[in-house]
């Protein structure tokens, strides 16, 4: 039996860990062209029908969560290298 293909599919669930009004109402994940993403959603209208809510989403690549710490030092080194230029003023 072959594994189910989740390419270009995703899902969200009610955020049970919401502690502040700014936290997402829904969280989940989505696959776009084989890349995995975290998905957060907020209800735009509090009185909207649960069957057809108006929502706003943010999407963040799953691998990106580990990148800033790993690339920050490399980026800083590149900036230092650029600053070593001899400028005549």
What distance in Å separates the CA atoms of residue 82 and residue 76, rounded to the nearest whole number? 10
- Per-residue pLDDT tens, the chain, 89 aa: give them: 558 888 999 999 999 999 998 999 999 999 999 999 999 999 888 777 777 778 899 999 998 655 554 444 444 455 445 555 565 54
- The CA-atom distances, in angstroms, between 44 and each of 12, 31, 33, 48, 66 are 16, 24, 27, 8, 30
Sequence-ordered list of residues with C-beta below 8 angstroms from that of 9, at least 6 positions apart, any chain = 30, 31
Beta carbons within 10 angstroms of residue 40's beta carbon:
17
**CATH numbers and ranges of domains, the chain:** 10-83 (2.30.31)
Res 87: pLDDT: 57
SS3 49: coil
pLDDT at 65: 55
Reported pTM: 0.60
What pLDDT shows up at residue 29? 95
């Amino acid at each position: 039996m072959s594994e189910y293909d989740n390419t270009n599919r995703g899902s969200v669930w009610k955020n049970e860990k919401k502690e502040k009004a700014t936290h997402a109402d829904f969280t989940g994940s989505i696959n776009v062209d084989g890349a995995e993403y975290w998905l957060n959603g907020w209800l735009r209208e509090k009185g909207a029908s649960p069957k057809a809510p108006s929502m706003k989403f943010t999407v963040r690549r799953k691998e990106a969560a580990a990148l800033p710490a790993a690339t920050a030092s490399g980026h800083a080194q590149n900036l230092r290298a650029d600053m070593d230029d001899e400028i005549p003023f």
